[in-house]
Structure 1
Amino acid sequence: MIFENLPTTPTSEELLDKAFSRAARAGRAKQGVEAQESMLQTSSNILGDNLHNVVTAWPDFESVDPFYYELADAVLQREFDDNRGVDALRQHLSEISWASNKTHDLGREYIGKLPWGDADAARKIRKQGFARMGSVMDQIEEDLDAVGRARDALKGLPEIDPHDPTVVVAGYPNVGKSSFANAVSSAKIETAEYPFTTKGVQVGHFEADRVRWQIVDTPGLLDRPADERNGIEDQAVSALAHAADVILFFLDASGTCGYPLDSQRALRAEVADQFDDVPLVTVCNKADLSTGVEADCYMSVEDGEGVQETLDAAVEAVGYEPELPHEQ
């Protein structure tokens, strides 16, 4: 996942402590004006290079897959309480990039001001340079804090590979979605938290025709009507539309899920509208209790009846063909 290896973002105070302590050691290795020059060079290099590394650790959002871009944008809107989302992060990174260049420039500027032959005057110039660098770091204190918070929030995103064929399951709570995902996933299902839901997103994997597929259950997003979701959750649903290759929508005709069938049908219509470019397969689960609804597949996860057929229907609806190596 593109955000999981982002390094911890240092604070302004941490960078200043690191730069000035290293500069002091560098200064002790020399004497007179050369010591002041070494201190200025060391501090400006450490600040400039570390700030540059903060910026370049982030991916170019222009090349990020639309799934992760929209999901990141939704997460950052909530984290920053700013509807600019990714654009707000870009602005913070731009300020840090400016500071990186500025601290390098200040090092060169104050080294150029050193009066050779006058160590006391050189020490005053060096202190002035340090003060200017400290002022620059004060200006970006909030930017570094924001980038650090963004990093922490995005590291928690569920690991969904938008390049793998993906089945997304939807439907009201208690209709059997998670039980189905667990039943068809050969590996132990993984649970991760969306930063804007209280329930874990489940991601499992299975193989069909030697192709690795993902199956994703998103409680808190696709298990309730759109008018009960906030704008950020709606954007998360929009992000899923980029990753989904097929939607399995579960209906419970028996009513034991606690939701009327009419409400379930209405949610199905909403999901079909939101994922209008994605095939949707309607599944009547708990068919051992009732089949009183029109559906593409009828199954009972409880009894194991129709489970494989439902999974096969999802795969067939996609018609996925893996890319083959170029023939030489």
Structure 2
Amino acid sequence: MSRASCLFQLCQIPSTNLLLRSSKLPRGLYVIPGWKIYPTLYFCKSLQTTTYEVVNGSYVPTTQTKQEKETKDKSLAKLDTVGAFQKLPMVMPSVDILHSALRKAKRVLPTKGIANIAKRERNRGAKQLDALMKELAISLRMYLESFPKKKYLHPYERSLIELTLGDGNYEEVLGKVDALRKKVVSVGKEHASFCAKSLTKREAEERLSEGMKKIEEIFSQDAKVVDDLLHIAKTLRAMPVVDLETPTLCLVGAPNVGKSSLVRTLSTGKPEVCNYPFTTRGILMGHIVLNYQTFQVTDTPGLLKRCDEDRNNLEKLTLAVLSHLPTAILYVHDLTGECGSSPSEQFVIYKEIKERFGDHLWLDVVSKCDLFQNSPVVFITDNDDPGHVELARYRKLGPDGAIHVSVKTEEGLSELKVKVHELLTLQMDKISEKSNQENLVIS
């Protein structure tokens, strides 16, 4: 028997038989004299999948339940991070996509060496229709693959999509783009097949022209979804990037209490500052550099006294930041009555947010203290209950330990910057501790 045949029969033997002496090998095995059988050189069809652990110097198989395996896989999974919006592709306007595809398709030439005119023409027509279909379909598919699925995004970015685009709008647009891609592919293949079956040159030219017009018509009918995707990409890329590893200070409070003015004072952020509520229409980012360390500062839309079901998307955006991002809170109070929310209303909002997000590092600031010399405005909504001692004290001085500042006169700003630096240093330690715990779990 040849050596190759011997090797083939050798590979069919179960691994346990390789440990037998040659006299006990199964019938039909031919061993060439001088050959030796080494178990370590044996190639088997099935692979060993049992894991082992060392016990008293010996290898003992370990048992791992399905639940333990799933837990381990989850712990090894990559943690959610933000920044997916900055990786979105540059979506071309639908008109440009169509014109580019038509231009490239018309430059396609027939296969060389076809002498028959009719065959050459139908070959050219089929290739051009196929090229037009592919140019359009590939562009749409590339966009679909580049836009992340919402379920894989960080919770903060999922909230941004829902609050800025509307619930379900993101998935709806992507679904329509995919439907358009499938429709273009179907129509393109159909007309390319028709053109390939043409019997004469004239028939091939007519079917080519008809197919081009049909594909263009199909794409143009639903081209708006591509422009909608372009708008989504622009909107999401404009969202500020929050680095989860960098300590972040989030300014919170009622509308028009002076949050944006403090952001301009404390950081490089330049939010719009106006004397009317809800000037801040989204999340605005800035950076603080203190003692050669860089920190983040975010300005958020103001909160009103109402339940979550009645809040607008701007207020929900603020709650999303506090819920999903590791931030320290700088809560701003305005007791002068200029902001439009009475101290009593601000007190209720403050107590609610403090109770809900009490696990965050916290610093209270009373703004516009230069106006305290004037008598505060008394609102009809103010609670004048003399028995409410905490509210009475709040209306005069704000929360316990609050820093009184004035951007106009710069009163208290130096103390505020020192306190902010201490707060962000603690936030840095908190982030580092959490990161070390996560790495310990993974390892």
Supply the distance in 1 between the matched residues of 2:97 and 2:192 (Cα, whole angstroms).
Answer: 21
Cα distance 1:312–1:14, how it changes in 2: closer, same or farther (>3 A)? closer
Shift of 1:263: 2.8
Cα distance 1:158–1:316, how it changes in 2: closer, same or farther (>3 A)? closer
Supply the distance in 2 between the matched residues of 1:74 and 1:226 (Cα, whole angstroms).
Answer: 18
Q: Deviations over 1:61-110 (max 9, x none)?
A: 22221112101211112xxxxxxx3x222122122223324433444444
Is 1:320–2:433 an aligned residue pair?
Answer: no
Letter in 1 for 2:262: F
User: 1:80 is matched with which residue?
Assistant: none
User: Pick from 94, 97, 105: which aligns with 2:175?
Assistant: 94
Q: Deviations over 1:122-179 (max 9, x none)?
A: 2233334334423431452232232223223323323333453321112245644344
User: 1:33 is matched with which residue?
Assistant: 122
Task: State the SS of the aligned residue for 1:295.
Answer: coil
Cα distance 1:209–1:60, how it changes in 2: closer, same or farther (>3 A)? farther
User: 1:81 is matched with which residue?
Assistant: none
The answer as to whether partners of 2:263 and 2:270 remain within 8 angstroms in 1 is no
For residues 76-95 of structure 1, what are the structure 2 equivalents within 5 Å?
Answer: 76-77=165-166, 85=167, 87-95=168-176
Shift of 1:4: 4.2
Is 1:296–2:406 an aligned residue pair?
Answer: no
Is 1:234–2:344 an aligned residue pair?
Answer: no
Supply the distance in 1 between the matched residues of 2:336 and 2:172 (Cα, whole angstroms).
Answer: 52
For residues 254-269 of structure 1, what are the structure 2 equivalents within 5 Å?
Answer: 260-269=342-351
Cα distance 1:316–1:159, how it changes in 2: closer, same or farther (>3 A)? closer
Task: State the SS of the aligned residue for 1:3.
Answer: helix
**TM-score for the superposition, normalised by structure 1:** 0.77
Cα distance 1:116–1:295, how it changes in 2: closer, same or farther (>3 A)? same
Supply the distance in 2 between the matched residues of 1:5 and 1:189 (Cα, whole angstroms).
Answer: 23
User: 1:127 is matched with which residue?
Assistant: 209
Task: State the SS of the aligned residue for 1:160.
Answer: coil
Cα distance 1:217–1:226, how it changes in 2: closer, same or farther (>3 A)? farther
Letter in 2 for 1:225: K
Letter in 2 for 1:294: P
**TM-score for the superposition, normalised by structure 2:** 0.59
Supply the distance in 1 between the matched residues of 2:414 and 2:335 (Cα, whole angstroms).
Answer: 16
The answer as to whether partners of 2:252 and 2:331 remain within 8 angstroms in 1 is yes
The answer as to whether partners of 2:286 and 2:297 remain within 8 angstroms in 1 is yes
Supply the distance in 2 between the matched residues of 1:277 and 1:136 (Cα, whole angstroms).
Answer: 55
User: Pick from 297, 308, 313: which aligns with 2:417?
Assistant: 308
Shift of 1:192: 8.4
Cα distance 1:273–1:145, how it changes in 2: closer, same or farther (>3 A)? farther
Shift of 1:299: 4.0
The answer as to whether partners of 2:110 and 2:121 remain within 8 angstroms in 1 is no
Cα distance 1:233–1:259, how it changes in 2: closer, same or farther (>3 A)? closer
User: 1:250 is matched with which residue?
Assistant: 332
Supply the distance in 2 between the matched residues of 1:76 and 1:273 (Cα, whole angstroms).
Answer: 30
Q: Deviations over 1:267-304 (max 9, x none)?
A: 21243355465344333446675872332342435233
User: 1:189 is matched with which residue?
Assistant: 269
Supply the distance in 2 between the matched residues of 1:107 and 1:74 (Cα, whole angstroms).
Answer: 38
Is 1:142–2:224 an aligned residue pair?
Answer: yes
Letter in 1 for 2:152: S
Cα distance 1:128–1:253, how it changes in 2: closer, same or farther (>3 A)? closer
Letter in 1 for 2:106: A
Work out which of the two has the higher radius of gyration on C-alpha atoms and give 1 or 2: 2
Supply the distance in 1 between the matched residues of 2:229 and 2:144 (Cα, whole angstroms).
Answer: 9
Letter in 1 for 2:197: P
Is 1:17–2:99 an aligned residue pair?
Answer: yes
Letter in 1 for 2:165: L
C-alpha RMSD over aligned residues: 3.8
User: Pick from 45, 69, 77: which aligns with 2:134?
Assistant: 45
**Structure 1 unpaired stretches of 5+:** 78-84
Structure 1 vs Structure 2: percent identity of aligned residues? 19
User: 2:148 is matched with which residue?
Assistant: 59
Is 1:155–2:237 an aligned residue pair?
Answer: yes
Cα distance 1:190–1:163, how it changes in 2: closer, same or farther (>3 A)? farther
User: 1:103 is matched with which residue?
Assistant: 184
Is 1:225–2:305 an aligned residue pair?
Answer: yes
The answer as to whether partners of 1:26 and 1:38 remain within 8 angstroms in 2 is yes
**Structure 2 unpaired stretches of 5+:** 1-82, 113-119, 374-395
Letter in 1 for 2:180: A
Which deviates further from its counterpart, 248-257 or 65-74? 248-257
